[in-house]
């Protein structure tokens, strides 16, 4: 009898142990999904730090996910990565019009021997027209500085001396020159202000607080924000350029672009058409990459969608129309100065010495390799 009792006790303990569920397994935190841009069936100046308000990204803690947190507009952070790397691949906007290589960043090497610090890709922002394209360039700001130059005539400023508006990339930056991109609107088309160093080209006007402003610090780092938010820190910037209202602010489309897909608020052709060449400049969440976009026959809405898809947290529209939208890459021949080797998304013929020997009447941005 004692034997049976002992055996019964052993069986009971075994059954109880086997019935106990396994403890929950620790799982690695789920990687944040790539930024997605809602598919919407509508078509629709120089710089500094990153965005103006630190915030959680995608509802989580960026540091915990291994990502760089958002930077405030008044905060300038150094990038310390050992080498240049492209941004994450992009998701095509519309499967119906997307091409196989949409969103795949390709390294740009104007000089074959140089390190790639610029990356290009293409997106198709129209849900129905496969011929509408946006060319995108991501610039690694850990390796590249961004500068602003006044044109010989634009923006209009009679009191600024000619020496302060040479319309050329300074000779000191010729050796490291990588690219030149167009600046903002002509003065008569909006009267947007600009400053380079101590020289002001027009002044911010009352009621222009919403004017998007591209700001640059002394080290060529970038911030994009409404003027009302940058004005209190204006003296901290080496240069800035105003533009129409921000296309993208804190990762969101401008409210007018959500409700009006063919608005003329961001400019139009002489006949009133809004599907025109447009450019934009933005910065990603971490302030690591400047993002330049050149759209062919795009509305402001389509351009903003492409900038969002490219990872821009904040983005400003620059110049418009095919005569003024451009992005040139430069090479350096033996014994000669920099020359345009090719362009991205640019139409028309342009002398190879543009911006380095041939003066520009319009303001422009240029990208120069940082000293090691």
Q: Bridge-partner residues for 240, per DSSP?
A: 195, 215
Q: How is the beta sheet containing 199-201 ordered, strand by strand?
A: 199-201, 194-196, 239-245, 211-216, 222-226
Q: Residue 314: pLDDT above 60?
A: yes
pLDDT of residue 354: 98
Percent of the chain at pLDDT > 70 equals 78
Contact call for residues 344 and 329 (beta carbons, < 8 A): yes
Comparing C-alpha atoms, which of 47, 146, 46, 150 is closest to residue 363? Answer: 150
Three-state DSSP state, 282 = strand
- What are the beta bridge partners of residue 140? 289
Q: How many residues does the chain have?
A: 372
Over residues 193-202, the mean pLDDT reads 96
Q: How far apart are CA 288 and CA 222, in angstroms?
A: 9
333-364: pLDDT as tens digits: 777 899 999 999 998 889 999 999 999 999 99
Question: Locate tokens 């086997």: which residue?
Answer: 18
Query: 318: pLDDT confidence band, cut at 50, 70 and 90?
Result: very high
What are residue 367's DSSP bridge partners? 146, 179
Pair of tokens at residue 184? 């903002």
User: What pLDDT score was predicted for residue 81?
Assistant: 59
Instruction: Considering only residues 47 and 231, tell me which one the structure prediction assigns the higher pLDDT.
Output: 231
Tokens 């947007």 -> residue: 192
Q: Which of 363, 365, 366 is nearest to 166 (CA)?
A: 363
Q: DSSP code of 354?
A: B
Burial 189-228 (b: 16+ CB within 10 A, else e): ebbbbbbbeebebbebeeebeebbbbbbbeebbbbbbbbe
* SS3 (DSSP) at 14: helix
Q: Identify the residue with better confidence: 355 or 71.
A: 355
Give 19-22's long-range contacts (Cβ < 8 A, gap of 24+). Answer: none
Structure-block tokens of residue 252 = 């969101």
**DSSP string of 246-274?**
-SEETTEE-HHHHH-TT-STT---TTS--
299-314: average pLDDT: 97
Least confident of 34-38, 189-193, 219-223, 308-312: 34-38
Region 282-295 average pLDDT: 97
pLDDT in tens, 202-230: 988 878 889 999 999 999 899 999 999 99
**Res. 238: pLDDT tops 80:** yes
- 247-260 core/surface letters (b: 16 or more CB in 10 A; e: else): bbbebebbeebeeb
- Of 204, 238, 210, nearest to 223 by C-alpha is 238
118-145 per-position pLDDT tens digit: 999 999 999 999 999 999 999 999 999 9
Is residue 72's pLDDT more than 70? Answer: no
Q: How far apart are CA 247 and CA 298, in angstroms?
A: 13
Residue 94: pLDDT band (50, 70, 90) is very high
pLDDT band at 291, cuts 50/70/90? very high
Distance (Å, whole) CA 154 – CA 165: 9
């Amino acid at each position: 009898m004692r034997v049976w009792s002992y055996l019964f006790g052993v069986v009971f303990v075994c059954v109880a142990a086997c019935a106990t569920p396994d403890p929950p397994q620790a799982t690695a935190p789920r990687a944040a999904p790539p930024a997605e841009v809602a598919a919407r069936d509508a078509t629709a100046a120089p710089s500094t730090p990153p965005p103006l308000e630190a915030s959680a990204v995608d509802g989580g803690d960026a540091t915990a996910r291994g990502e760089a947190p958002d930077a405030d507009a008044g905060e300038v952070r150094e990038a310390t990565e050992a080498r240049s790397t492209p941004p994450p691949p992009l998701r095509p906007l519309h499967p119906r019009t997307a091409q196989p290589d949409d969103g795949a960043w390709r390294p740009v090497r104007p000089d074959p021997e140089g390190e790639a610090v610029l990356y290009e890709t293409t997106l198709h922002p129209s849900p129905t027209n496969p011929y509408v394209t946006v060319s995108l360039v991501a610039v690694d700001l850990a390796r590249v500085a961004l500068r602003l130059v006044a044109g010989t005539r634009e923006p209009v400023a009679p009191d600024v001396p000619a020496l302060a508006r040479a319309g050329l990339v300074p000779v000191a930056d010729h050796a490291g020159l990588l690219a030149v991109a167009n600046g903002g609107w002509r003065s008569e088309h909006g009267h947007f202000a600009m400053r380079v160093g101590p020289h002001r080209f027009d002044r911010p006007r009352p009621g222009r607080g919403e004017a998007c402003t591209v700001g640059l610090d002394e080290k060529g780092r970038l911030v994009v924000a409404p003027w009302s938010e940058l004005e209190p820190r204006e003296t901290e910037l080496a240069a800035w350029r105003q533009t129409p209202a921000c296309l993208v602010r804190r990762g969101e489309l401008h409210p007018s672009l959500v409700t009006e897909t063919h608005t003329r608020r961001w400019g139009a052709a002489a006949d009133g058409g809004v599907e025109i060449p447009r450019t934009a400049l933005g910065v990603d969440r971490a302030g690591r990459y400047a993002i330049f976009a050149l759209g062919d026959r795009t509305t402001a809405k389509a351009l903003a969608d492409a900038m969002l898809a490219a990872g821009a947290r904040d983005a400003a529209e620059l110049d418009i129309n095919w005569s003024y939208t451009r992005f040139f890459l430069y090479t350096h021949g033996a014994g000669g100065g920099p020359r345009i080797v090719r362009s991205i998304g640019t139409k028309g013929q342009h002398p190879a010495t543009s911006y380095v020997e041939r003066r520009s009447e319009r303001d422009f941005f240029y990208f120069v390799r940082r000293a090691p």
